[in-house]
Amino acid sequence: MKNIATITAKELKSYFISPVAYVITTVFLVITGYMFYSRISSFSLYCFKMMNYSKALETLNINYNVLRQSFSTMITTIMFMMPIMTMRIIAEEKKNKTMELLMTSPVTISEVVFGKFFALLILYAGMLLITIYMPLYASYYSKVDWGPIISGYVGMLLLGSVFLAIGIFASALTENQIVAALISFAFILIFVLIDWAANLADGQVAIVLKYLSLSSHSYNFFKGVIHSKDVVFYLSFVAFGLFMSFRVIESKRWTQ
């Protein structure tokens, strides 16, 4: 655990010394903030127009019309940003020939992989934490159901963890950061949109494709429901991604 903590601290420091963490966080907050502002402005305007229709006002739900849609925006945003966050995590080490130094130091490959993963996860969790201003701002103007918001953030953290694991695996495959980002984005896009293929399939194939879809497992979280099957699916996906990263690095170690 000490070695993992050391690697995690080193990676976090490298992100904040360079402008990478600041640029990624700023872009993430600008996009999500703008979309939240647009949705809550539209919601406020619609409420104002419906003031003379009390029954219509009763059916309006800020959780559904604003906050759940904001989570959907976050998914789209991190789909593009996670490959950028992870593309250098191992590829840069390989390009600069520092991976060999890590392999000969008194740390295991699994400690290296976990240390880098936790560094990225902490950075991502910090980005998510800042967006808590959105439900807080919404609660100032309307009654907010905090259950779906909390479960929504849990879902976003788990889904982001999967994206990070995929990105680390892609970064382990090559020393070219651009190639790593493209591979990562391709994998993420396939597993997010695979439920589209499920809609075109029948029987057991449709069930399997639906289950493998990363986005389909997020719906329950946004509704305020945390199912153990969704949590297990995401954690299993993370474990598989990190295991594949371990195997790729290990195979490169023995071929050198």
Which residues, including other chains, have CB under 8 Å from residue 248's CB and lie 6 or more apart? 169, 172, 173
pLDDT at residue 200 in the model: 72
Inter-residue contact 40 to 137 (CB < 8 Å): yes
Higher pLDDT, 208 or 102: 208
pLDDT at residue 39 in the model: 81
Tell me the per-residue pLDDT of 209-246, one tens digit each, with 9 for 90 and over. Answer: 888 888 888 888 888 888 889 999 999 999 999 999 88
Which residues, including other chains, have CB under 8 Å from residue 177's CB and lie 6 or more apart? 87, 88, 91, 92, 95, 171
Cα(73)–Cα(66) distance, integer angstroms: 11
Tell me the per-residue pLDDT of 31-64, one tens digit each, with 9 for 90 and over. Answer: 998 888 888 777 777 666 666 555 544 555 666 6
Inter-residue contact 74 to 27 (CB < 8 Å): no
Cα-based angle 227, 233, 238 (whole degrees, multiple of 5): 130
Cα(143)–Cα(252) distance, integer angstroms: 55
Tell me the per-residue pLDDT of 111-142, one tens digit each, with 9 for 90 and over. Answer: 888 999 999 999 999 999 999 988 888 777 77
pLDDT at residue 20 in the model: 80
Dihedral (CA of 217, 223, 229, 231) sign: positive
pLDDT band at 207 (very low <50, low <70, confident <90, very high): confident
Cα(175)–Cα(226) distance, integer angstroms: 38
Tell me the per-residue pLDDT of 145-197, one tens digit each, with 9 for 90 and over. Answer: 888 889 989 999 999 999 999 999 999 888 888 999 999 999 999 888 887 77
pTM of the model: 0.88
Inter-residue contact 241 to 166 (CB < 8 Å): yes
Query: For the chain, what is the mean pLDDT?
Result: 83
- 74: tokens are 């976050």
pLDDT band at 65 (very low <50, low <70, confident <90, very high): low
